């Protein structure tokens, strides 16, 4: 019972924070509440396209993990059996290990912001980059989960405003909202999210 309470209490707290933030913003298009999101999720779960999309996304994630494991195994094999490979890779590893964890995770976050503009597909970007970034994070003393959090945060932040995201431009077209007007409306919120995310990532890296 105590274990269940310890799990449910933080979940209930953050759901309440989410609901209060959505109520304070007052615009479902900008920040929908948990009830609206849950209702829409149940509606989508009854469609075949939803599960096809979920399956395709999971497939790309596991493909990225597979490529990452393969690349890591190949590098380990090369550095063990070929001295030239060890001499080539070791300086980069030493630089990463010498970087403070807070600086490293913030650097990863900043790197993912322009990458998210160039590659608006979050699953595609994850497949290409996480297998590289996660091992580097382990060398720096940061867990892979925090690297993924930095990626997700940057990708989600960029996808609010980037003109390369089909969902942004399509939504604005449907709503009849000019892109420049949307940017003027949302830039302060994006800046707040950017700063808060940086703080949360830094604290998580320290803990």
Question: pLDDT (tens digit, 0 to 9) for every residue of the chain, 207 residues total?
Answer: 667 677 777 788 888 888 888 888 777 766 778 888 888 788 878 887 778 877 877 777 677 667 767 777 777 777 778 788 777 777 766 666 656 777 888 888 888 888 888 877 777 777 777 777 777 777 777 777 788 888 888 888 888 888 877 777 777 777 777 888 888 888 888 888 888 888 888 888 877
Domain ranges of the chain: 33-206
pTM value? 0.57
Please tell me the distance from the alpha carbon of residue 202 to that of residue 177, in angstroms, as a whole number.
Answer: 36
Identify the burial level of 133 via C-beta atoms within 10 angstroms of its C-beta, where 0-12 means exposed, 13-18 middle and 19 or more buried. buried
């Amino acid at each position: 019972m105590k274990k269940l309470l310890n799990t449910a209490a933080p979940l209930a707290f953050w759901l309440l924070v989410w609901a209060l933030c959505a109520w304070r913003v007052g615009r479902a298009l900008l920040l929908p509440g948990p009830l609206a999101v849950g209702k829409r999720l149940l509606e989508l779960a009854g469609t075949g396209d939803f599960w096809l999309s979920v399956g395709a996304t999971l497939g790309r994630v596991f493909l990225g993990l597979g490529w990452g494991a393969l690349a890591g195994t190949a590098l380990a094999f090369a550095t063990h059996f070929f001295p030239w490979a060890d001499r080539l890779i070791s300086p980069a590893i030493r630089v990463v290990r010498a970087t403070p964890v807070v600086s490293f995770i913030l650097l990863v976050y900043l790197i993912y912001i322009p990458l998210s503009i160039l590659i608006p597909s979050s699953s595609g970007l994850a497949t290409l980059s996480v297998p590289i970034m996660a091992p580097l994070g382990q060398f720096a003393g940061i867990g892979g989960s925090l690297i993924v959090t930095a990626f997700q945060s940057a990708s989600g932040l960029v996808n609010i405003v980037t003109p390369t995201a089909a969902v942004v431009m399509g939504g604005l077209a449907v709503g009849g909202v000019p892109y420049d007007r949307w940017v003027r409306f949302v830039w302060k919120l994006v800046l707040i999210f950017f700063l808060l995310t940086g703080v949360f990532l830094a604290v998580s890296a320290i803990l």
